[in-house]
Structures are given as structure tokens and as C-alpha cells.
A and B are shown apart, each in its own frame.
Chain A
């Protein structure tokens, strides 16, 4: 047994290794793809959640589009918010326009005591699947089914079904307004609204488009399209279409007059301090 075999093997393999390294280096130089270094810089700034809230496939997709774009006014990173977006804009040397923080709002308050069950559903626990079969297990064909498609798609642990009401509740801290739940909801109940100063906001918590009488019969807290809120609003921010009121959050000045006049309690206010004189004001289901 001689050491020469071991030595020659080691030398041979080392020489091969060096040769391969040289070839690989040359090939890599020859076929080098130039990539804008700013893409990496922008991606590093982004939250890395890959939630798709910006409309691009993941954070890398957004970074590529962002660096390429001439005009960035239509782009935004909802989970990152203004700070992250400003940092990203700085990388490409552009000015970011600050946007109001948004939050997902569940526009249905039909808890079982308001909206009695009319049938029993024990099929697949998926809202989308249930809507292909029937309109829902209550008298309201527009309301929340409570099977939790929104919960399943949320990447930020920001939406949960409240066991008592059977309705989804959005967490103020966790919600990034990425919009995944909005796409998942087959009844189009969830909407992105301005978060408001200190989280204060007012919205119509109903999507029932039935005539007043029918809506009221199926759910005690339904919007009946009675027009009282439209008349009460001093800022002209409420419109009624298909027997359903909608508050424009860009016009609303948070005066709460509509909340006071609503006969069914379909207009909810969130994060307001309790009122001084009047009692029994319904507080938004999502303040929990």
C-alpha cells in the first residue's frame, strides 16, 4: 500500500475542481444578466409578506414593477403603510404620496338574535361552496354565511369568526388592508374603508338590497333604505341605491348624526368614546 495513490487522487480531484471553477466563472461572466440593483434594495425594504395586496405576485413582483414604473402614484404597499412606501420610493428617487390607512370592514351585523336561522346547513365548511348551492341559512340572501373563507385566506391573523355572533371580526392592529378577504368573500360583504383618525369610522353594516319590509323581516338590523340618514347627513356623504345606504368615507366628517337617526341600528360607529347623555348606543361589532 503506497500513499502515492491517495496523493494522486487528491491532486487529480483538486485540479478538476479548479478547472470546473474557472469554466463556471467564465460562463457566468459571459452570460451575465444585468439586474437593476434597486430591485433588491426595494425588496429589502418591503415587508416580505407576499400577500398580494399591492396587486403584484409577491414582494419581488412589486419591486420589479416599482423600479420599472415611471409613475408610482397608483402603487402602494398596504401592509407596509406610508413609512415602508416612502422608503421604497426613496430607493428609486421619487416622492411618495402619503395615503390614508385603510382597514377591512365587515358589512353585516346579522347575529342569530337579529337574523334567525331558517334552515340547517351541514355541507362543506366553505362560503364559496355554500353559495353555489343556496342563498344562505337565514332569510337574508345577502348576509354573512359565517363559514370563514375570509379567515382562511388572511395571512396576518387579522380576521376571526366571533363564536357568539357567528360573524367575522377584524383586528384593528393586525389588519393590513391587503384585501385578500375581500376577494374571498362570495357575498361581497367586506370592504376596505378609511381607518379614520384614531380608528374612528362610521359605516353601514349591511349589504341587503331588498325592499325595506322584506329586509327588516329577515334581519332586525338590516338597512331598510328609509332615507333618514340621507336627510340627517349635513355633509351629503350618504347615498341610497337599491334600498341600501352607503356612506362615502371621503366625505364623511364623523359627526354621527346618521347613527342617531337610523331606526334599525344598521349604521355602526367604531372607536368613538361613549356618548354622554344617551344610553344604549350600539357599538361596532369590530371594536372587540
Chain B
């Protein structure tokens, strides 16, 4: 019996259409727009002005506080403007727009394919390097990685967990990464282990990626203390708390962090970025993005420079199919429909999915909840989505706090199973933002 998390979860159709497509390098666009807030926390402060010429890997916006991240130029060229641009939600967000000229990289960045295995730096030096490289969680949450690596006094990390679950349907970027960059990934894990002082590192991979499991099991024999675990396929296993429960049977307390139970979780994409930052001197300027969807001519996985318009990615995949109803940034479960295809790829863009129009709209919502309880069984956090939905609709936000709405990770399992097609997550998300505002107001 394979491991999995015990509570809730759903089984959406996998549709991993691009799983067999090797990672390709997306051609450079003419222009990139790099938002200065691509992470959770304070937006970075621009350190370039209009007309400056920049090179790939040059710092263009400086981290603004502890929970924040540096932003580097992903192309070489001239800074065209610092004006806000429309992001994928349709709101204007401050960004740095750079016109691409050639492809000149900063000195000190090793772009060869050789795998450098010796880790010469001390763990403090490693954290500084990771911080400088502007690395954030590439699974989609975009939490600055150096924050997770700074273990508070009195806490100890004995197990490092590497998230190769990729439980979202359609997405295959992590899958391809594990197949094609296994050695680099292993060195990245060794770096993280050294920083955290963890003896063991466990890689969790869902059992629908058997080639990746076999390959990593094979490669990991050359590295001490790294174990690969296949997991039963169940969404949302890639959730931090679910993965910890599945692999080491520890439960992160409500409102707590994985470090409270002696572990830290990093995505495989983040781990590779850590390897590149530490061993190759390369800041986070590109990431692997899946472009897929039924009806897409060439679904695939591309290495994309941050700030590239999503339209370029769609072009590479054979253009917009005729019957497209919705373009989603991220996975089909947690991703969000985008307002414009000119919005840039950011550090958190794990995939872009084009849905045909007949799959784009939600089913018609029934007038009311019949309290069948399907959402309660599906919720991996043990919440009562039907109740939270009703409280939010009635604006009883103060009652949502004791119902632990802040534990909701917005996985969407409740909306997925609701037979009445109720927009449960929409209201829960609304309640969550209101409750967070209440908590902030109370603290200040």
C-alpha cells in the first residue's frame, strides 16, 4: 500500500498531455515585463532607471525586508519603462519593462551543463547566496525560500521533504525536471540538507510518474541520505501539510509551520534553482513552464525567461486553438483564468492551460445547499466548506475565525465535488481575506 494523506482529497482526471515532451528553450521575446512583486511579502524596490542597459542576471530590484526577494533581469537589453503593466488578473502592477538586445550574461554565471557536486560554502554563506539569487517557492506559492531555510533558534529540522508530487492535473514541468535534471536536483538537495542540518531528505512523487520515480531512485544511490517515495495519486497531495502527513505522518498544527514538526518542504523546481544559484552563480531568471490543453497543437514544457509574455508561450505551442474559452495561469484546480495573454510569465507560473469553450464555464449553480456533506469529506484540512460558505454569504466573518477558515489553502476540492456547483471556494476565499484583515487589525 502506497503512502498518502488520510483526510479528504479528490481525484480529478489527470490529463498529463505534455508528460513525454522534453524541456525546450523558448526563443527570446522582443521585450519582457518583470513585475517587482512576484513573491509573497514586500515588493522589491527597483534599482535601475529608464534607459539603463542591463545584462542577464543583473539585479534590477532589491529585496525589501526579510520576507521579500530580489528580482534580476532575465534578458540583456535596455530598460524601457518602470510604468505599471496589466498583470494576469487585470490589475495594474508595478513592473520593469526591458527591450531585449542580444543575450549577454553577467560574469561569474556558469552556463555549462557540467554538474558541480562539491559544496564548498558554509551553510551561512549558502543562505546568503540563495537570498541574493531571489529564489522563491516555484511550486506556485512563491514564498521567499531563504525565509524557510533560516531555522529559528530552538527548532531543529531532522527531515527535509522535496516536493515532486505535481498533483495538479495537466502540469508536467516538475515531472520533466526530475527526468532531465536529476543530478542537479540531487546536488540541490545536498545543499538544502547542509543548510538545514537535516540528516534525511525524502522525495515524494505521485505514482503516475513511474519513470521519474525509477530514475530518481537510481540516481539517488550516489548521494547519502536521500530517499525516494512513490505516493498514491490524490489531489492535493502537493500541499505542504498533506505531503508531510503522507510521508512522515506528522501533523502541522493549525496556524503552525512545517518547522514546528521538524521539517521543511521545498519544491523540486526550487531545489534546482538553489543548485543553480549556489553551484553555478545563476540567479532565478528562468523557469520551466508547461503549456498544454486539449486542442493545443504542441503541448510542451519550455524553459522560459521570467517576464516573457504568455502569448509567446502560446505561439510556441502552435498558437491559440480556434475554440478557446479560457486561459488559465497555473493548474486547473488552483490556477486562475487570465485577463490578457500579454501578461508576463512570473516566478510562480508553473503552467498555462488553454481550455476549449465547452470546458470553460462552471456548471449552473443550484439555488441552495442540500447539506450532502461531500465537501466536508473532500476537504483535506478537515474544514466544513458548506458552513464557511454560508457564513461568508451572510457576512458573519467573526464566526468564520473559530471555524478555522485561515487553515484553508484554497485547493478547490470542495467546489470540485459539490453536486450543486456552488461557488464554495469563492466565498471561503472572501471570508479568509476578511478574517485575515480582522486579525491584522487586532494585532495593530
Contacts and interface: CB of A to CB of B under 8 A. Distances in A.
Contacts of B295: none
B427 A141 contact: no
B399 interface: no
B429 A132 contact: yes
Given A119-B339, A134-B337, A124 B426 contact: yes
Given A123-B362, A126-B430, A141-B92, A133 B336 contact: yes
A118 B339 contact: yes
Nearest to A133: B336
Which of A119, A122, A129, A132 has most B Cβ within 10 Å? A129
Contacts of A216: none
Interface in B293-344: 336-337, 339
A135 interface: yes
A135 B90 contact: yes
B426 A133 contact: yes
B423 interface: yes
A129 B429 CA distance: 7
In this complex, the interface size class of chain B, counting residues with CB under 8 Å from chain A, is 10 to 19
Interface in B408-435: 423, 426-427, 429-430, 433
Interface in A209-242: none
A133 B426 CA distance: 9
A231 to B, nearest CB: 28
A128 interface: yes
B122 to A, nearest CB: 43
A18 interface: no
Nearest to A139: B90
A128 B430 contact: yes
Nearest to A130: B426
Which of A124, A134, A136, A141 has most B Cβ within 10 Å? A124
Given A119-B339, A134-B339, A126 B427 contact: yes
A128 B91 CA distance: 15
A215 to B, nearest CB: 12
A274 to B, nearest CB: 39
A120 B339 CA distance: 10
Nearest to B389: A124
A135 B90 CA distance: 5
B361 interface: yes
A120 B362 CA distance: 11
Contacts of A123: 362, 423, 426
A263 B360 CA distance: 39
Contact of A141 (B91, B336, B337, B433): B91
A119 B336 CA distance: 13
A136 B339 CA distance: 9
A129 B424 CA distance: 11
B89 interface: yes
Nearest to A138: B90
B362 A122 contact: yes
A278 B46 CA distance: 53
Nearest to B87: A135
Contacts of B339: 118-119, 134-135
Interface in A72-127: 118-120, 122-124, 126
B361 A122 contact: yes
Contact of B89 (A118, A129, A135): A135
B374 to A, nearest CB: 18
Contacts of A141: 90-92
Contact of A132 (B361, B423, B433): B433
Contacts of A136: 90
Nearest to B430: A129
A126 B395 CA distance: 11
A280 to B, nearest CB: 33
A141 B433 CA distance: 20
B92 A124 contact: no
Nearest to A128: B430
Nearest to B432: A132
A119 B362 CA distance: 14
Nearest to B422: A124
A124 B90 contact: no
Q: Which 9 A-B pairs have the closest CB atoms?
A: A135-B90, A124-B426, A124-B423, A129-B430, A129-B426, A134-B89, A135-B91, A123-B426, A134-B90
29 contacts: A118-B339, A120-B361, A122-B361, A122-B362, A123-B362, A123-B426, A124-B423, A124-B426, A124-B427, A124-B430, A126-B393, A126-B430, A129-B423, A129-B426, A129-B427, A129-B429, A132-B429, A132-B430, A132-B433, A133-B426, A133-B429, A134-B90, A134-B91, A135-B90, A135-B91, A135-B339, A141-B90, A141-B91, A141-B92
Interface of B: 89-92, 336-337, 339, 360-362, 393, 423, 426-427, 429-430, 433
Given A119-B337, A126-B427, 10 more contacts: A123-B362, A123-B426, A124-B426, A132-B430, A133-B89, A133-B336, A133-B429, A134-B90, A136-B90, A141-B92
